[in-house]
């Protein structure tokens, strides 16, 4: 058994986790006839495919081999054990972030895994197999991206809001947020250079971390959507919070605002304006 009195997330263990995530992601490249292998989940337009389920099964099995004592919080396991947060190490797993993109063959989805130690996320990686881009970070160690064998640090941009590229998610599983979402998207659009909606929260947040986007928001995300990416963003010099500016618990669902340091105040002010108007 692993000694739980010391950190077990050594560099070798982190490397093993990244290899497991990359292997799971590469498996998505061979998926075919996806739309005929779907199941409907609770909520609006909420789906899972056989590849979500199988990717999660294989990935969690491999992560269990790496750290047998770990607890799991995984998207496609709503009835799983609920002791994850109290474990020494817990994995927060999204087997396919961007399932709708995956169903439609848009080639913009990712596998996301965060590792938390005693309730705090200390390592995260998000892998886009279509571009072979692995975003990853350790708490206190900075953020990096590995692509086609090359590895380099990443950091957020220094763009102001008027020059910003702002991304957002539509919370499609709970369409009661539609009015607030699109009101804030319009407010951002009128203040920034352009807006985007690409369909993978994990990648959107990592894109803020890498300076590709400058702001990202969504009215509600689940832990597996953001747990890995928000650590990567923080380590890249960005800021991640709820839309009202309050801190985030990586094990709890809620709104999300990811920004560089320069845009943060403007983004919070825009969100406050729209939230007040929606009441």
pLDDT, greater one: 105 or 231:
231
Same domain flag for 18 and 57? yes
What is the extent of the structural domain holding 207? 161-278
What is the reported pLDDT for 50? 80
What is the spatial distance between Cα 182 and Cα 180, in angstroms, rounded to a whole number?
6
Residue 29 lies in a domain: yes
Same domain flag for 30 and 139? yes
- Predicted confidence band at 79 (pLDDT cuts at 50, 70, 90)? very low
| Among 5-19, 99-113, 216-230, 236-250, the least confident range | 5-19
Alpha helix locations (H) across 113-199?
178-191
**Which residues in 13-49 are b (16+ Cβ under 10 Å) and which e?**
bbebbbebbbbbbebbeebeebeebeeeeeeeeebbb
Which CATH number characterizes residue 215's domain? Answer: 3.40.190.80
What is the reported pLDDT for 81? 38
Instruction: Write out the two tokens for 40.
Output: 């409907």
Rounded to 5 degrees, φ, ψ at 111 are -105, 130
Same domain flag for 76 and 39? yes
pLDDT, greater one: 119 or 186:
186
Q: For the CA atoms of 108, 109, 115, 120, what is the dihedral angle to 10 degrees?
A: 70
Same domain flag for 255 and 166? yes
Q: Which of 78, 81, 70, 74 is nearest to 55 (CA)?
A: 74
pLDDT, greater one: 43 or 267:
267
pLDDT, greater one: 147 or 118:
147
Tell me what the mean pLDDT of segment 229-251 comes to: 97
Same domain flag for 149 and 176? no
Same domain flag for 18 and 141? yes
Instruction: Write out the two tokens for 69.
Output: 């004592």
Taking CA atoms, 160 is separated from 43, 196, 204, 210, in Å, by: 36, 17, 18, 16
Residue 6 lies in a domain: no
Which H or E element spans position 196?
A: strand 194-196
Which residue, 153, 182, 213, sits at the end of a domain?
153
Pairing mode, strands 133-138 and 150-153: unpaired
Total domain count, the chain:
2
Which CATH number characterizes residue 84's domain? Answer: 3.30.540.10
What is the reported pLDDT for 164? 98
What is the reported pLDDT for 244? 97
3-state DSSP assignment of residue 152: strand
Q: In the predicted model, what is the mean pLDDT of the chain?
A: 90
What is the reported pLDDT for 94? 95
Residue 5 lies in a domain: no
What is the reported pLDDT for 3? 41
Does the pLDDT at position 137 exceed 80?
yes
Does the pLDDT at position 40 exceed 90?
no
pLDDT, greater one: 278 or 273:
273
């Amino acid at each position: 058994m692993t000694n739980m009195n010391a950190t077990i997330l050594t560099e070798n263990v982190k490397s093993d986790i990244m290899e497991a995530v990359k292997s799971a992601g590469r498996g998505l490249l061979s998926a075919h006839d996806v739309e005929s292998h779907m199941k409907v989940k609770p909520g609006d337009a909420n789906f899972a495919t056989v590849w979500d389920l199988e990717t999660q099964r294989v990935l969690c099995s491999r992560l269990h081999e790496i750290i047998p004592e770990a607890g799991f919080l995984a998207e496609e396991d709503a009835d799983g054990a609920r002791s994850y947060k109290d474990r020494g190490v817990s994995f927060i797993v999204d087997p396919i972030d961007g399932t709708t993109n995956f169903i439609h063959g848009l080639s913009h989805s990712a596998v996301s895994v965060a590792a938390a130690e005693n309730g705090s996320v200390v390592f995260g990686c998000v892998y886009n197999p279509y571009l072979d881009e692995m975003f990853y970070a350790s708490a206190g160690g900075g953020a990096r991206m590995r692509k086609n064998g090359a590895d380099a640090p990443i950091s957020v941009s220094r763009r102001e809001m008027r020059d910003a590229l702002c991304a957002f998610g539509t919370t499609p599983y709970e369409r009661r947020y539609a009015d607030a979402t699109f009101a804030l998207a319009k407010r951002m659009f009128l203040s920034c250079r352009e807006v985007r909606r690409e369909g993978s929260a994990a990648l959107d947040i990592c894109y803020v971390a890498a300076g590709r986007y400058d702001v990202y928001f969504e009215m509600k995300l689940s832990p597996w959507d953001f747990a890995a990416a928000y650590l990567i963003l923080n380590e890249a010099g960005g800021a991640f919070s709820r839309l009202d500016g309050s801190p985030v618990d990586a094990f709890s669902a809620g709104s999300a605002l990811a920004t560089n340091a320069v845009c943060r105040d403007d983004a919070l002010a825009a969100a406050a304006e729209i939230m007040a108007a929606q009441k």
